[in-house]
Amino acid sequence: MRHDKKTIILRICLLLALLLIVTSCTPTIPKEPPKNMEQGEKEGVEQETIEEVEEKEEMIDQENKDEEVDSPAVEIDYQQIQPNEIGHIMVVMYHGIMDNPPYHRTEEDFWKDLKYMYDHNYRPISIQDYVKQNITIEAGYTPIVLTFDDGLPSTFSLIEENGELKADPHCAVGIMERFSETYPDFKARATFYINGHDPFEGAGSVKDRFEYLIERGYDISNHTDTHADLASLNAEEIQKEIGKVDAMIKGILTDYSMDTFSYPFGKRPKEELRKWIGAGSYEGHEYTYQMAFREGPSGPFVPPIHTQFEFYNVPRVRGSEGAEGDLWWYFDFYEKNPKQRYISDGNPNRIAVPEGKESNIQVEALQGKEIYTY
């Protein structure tokens, strides 16, 4: 059979028309913004190099980030959440994970502490966030700071398994990691105040141990070289005790900054010698500390921007449940006095307090944060 010439031409015309309709209806979406020469090439239009475009994009990214910082991260119902960012933040003092109360805590009891915190809306924050009052936990929650003194192996030690180093599952770090795997919205955050002699012991080098902790968001800081009674030392001896450990940690973790110190036995130097905690030097190595913790049972736990906050005499609560003023005593206290608790508004750049409480804020300590009353 022979096709008619006309029919063939008609078919071709129809096909072409169809093709035209289809292409004109399909919106042309460029996959990428014009970046290269071909797309931007026009007479009189200045050519942007890829580097320039990337630079601009980076600037825009930065502007977006700045905007994020300036504006509140979340909008919340203040009356419902009732944030109180001048309320109490407990700093808990632990030592070993062992059966020797009240300074040590068994594995079961430590888990019980964490579970209570979790169930009652406490969330651990890092010591660095505490110092800067950079509270990023969700609105409605109370920050809590966990500290471990003396660098004991039961608080942290590495073990070797199949040629790899991992945290002993029964040390405090192992327990915290297991806990935050079980409850992922409870981050493992804690600070370890160490002495100079073989901190933590166990497998791996001191460097391995320090790096393991820092990489996972924990902090390490200073508890003097020999766990010294600072009340009995002179200026030179105090600086040696602090400077040696400061140099040891910074010798391993270069660029690591430490802001807080913990007094062995909770004992401070004689009054005229206390300035050597804040700054000093040993064998040419200089150190500074913004804050120093004493021992519990003590309180009240006003936050760093509170007018009553004493930077070199910060209380901690003993991680125990035996005596008045211990952790479980305070758990109970805050259940009965919930308005005393720090309640986050979820925005680290805004300090939200109930009307009338703003007079307790030390305005110089705000570091650019805004005060919001409701």
Contact yes or no for 189/213 (Cβ under 8 A): no
Q: Is 84 or 157 the residue whose CB approaches Zn ion more closely?
A: 157
- Tell me whether strands 164-167 and 158-161 are parallel, antiparallel or unpaired: antiparallel
- Eight-state DSSP code of residue 197: S
The reply on whether position 149 binds Zn ion by CB under 5 A is yes
Residue whose CB is less far from Zn ion, 150 or 225 = 150
Which x/- pattern over 252-281 shows residues binding Zn ion (rule: CB under 5 A)? ------------x-----------------
Distance (Å, rounded) from C-alpha 57 to C-alpha 35? 11
Closest to Zn ion by CB, 149 or 168:
149
Which ranges constitute the DSSP H helices of the chain? Answer: 5-25, 37-40, 50-70, 78-81, 107-119, 127-131, 172-182, 206-215, 235-252, 275-278, 327-336
3-state secondary structure of 59: helix
Residue recorded with tokens 């407990």: 90
Query: Shortest approach of Zn ion to residue 151 CB, angstroms?
Result: 9
Amino acid, single-letter form, for residue 204:
G
Nearer to Zn ion, 105 or 306 (CB): 105
Which span sits near Zn ion by CB under 5 A: 67-75, 142-150, 245-253, 350-358? Answer: 142-150
**Minimum separation from the CB atom of position 104 to Zn ion (A):** 12
Q: Does residue 295 bind Zn ion (CB under 5 A)?
A: no
241 binds Zn ion (CB under 5 A): no
Between residue 321 and residue 340, which ones bind Zn ion under the rule CB under 5 A?
A: none
| Residue 200 DSSP SS3 | coil
CB of 247 to Zn ion, least distance (A): 20
For 198: left if phi > 0, alpha if psi spans -120 to 50, otherwise beta; the answer is: left
Output 103 or 372, the one with its CB closest to Zn ion: 103
Q: Let me know: does 207 contact 249? Beta carbons within 8 Å.
A: no
Question: What is the closest distance, in whole angstroms, from the C-beta atom of residue 227 to Zn ion in the complex?
Answer: 6
**Span of 147-155, 272-280, 310-318, 363-371 interacting with Zn ion by CB under 5 A:** 147-155
Nearest partner of 264 among 245, 251, 279, 250, judged by Cα:
245
Query: For Zn ion, which is the closer residue by CB, 97 or 302?
Result: 97
Instruction: Select 142 or 191, whichever has its Cβ closest to Zn ion.
Output: 191
Q: Do the Cβ atoms of 175 and 97 come closer than 8 Å? A: yes
Measured from the CB of residue 95, what is the shortest distance to Zn ion in angstroms?
A: 7
- For Zn ion, give the closer residue by CB, 177 or 229: 229
* Closer CB to Zn ion, 149 or 321, in the complex: 149
Whether the CB-CB separation of 351 and 329 falls below 8 Å is answered with: no
Least Å distance between CB 289 and Zn ion? 16
348 upstream amide cis, omega within 30 of 0: no
Closest-by-Cβ residue to Zn ion is 149
State in angstroms the smallest separation of the CB of 264 from Zn ion: 5
Q: How far is the CB of 192 from Zn ion (least distance, A)?
A: 11
Considering the complex, state which of residue 72 and residue 102 has its C-beta at the smaller distance from Zn ion. Answer: 102
Subset of residues 58 to 77 that bind Zn ion, contact rule: CB under 5 A: none
CB 210 within 8 A of CB 253: yes
d(CA 269, CA 334): 32
Q: How far is the CB of 97 from Zn ion (least distance, A)?
A: 15
Instruction: Return d(Cα 104, Cα 318) in angstroms, integer.
Output: 9
Which has the closest alpha carbon to 297: 265, 319, 312, 313? 319
Q: Which of 85, 93, 126, 150 binds Zn ion (CB under 5 A)?
A: 150
What is the size of the binding site for Zn ion (CB under 5 A)?
Answer: 3
Residues near Zn ion (CB under 5 A) are 149-150, 264
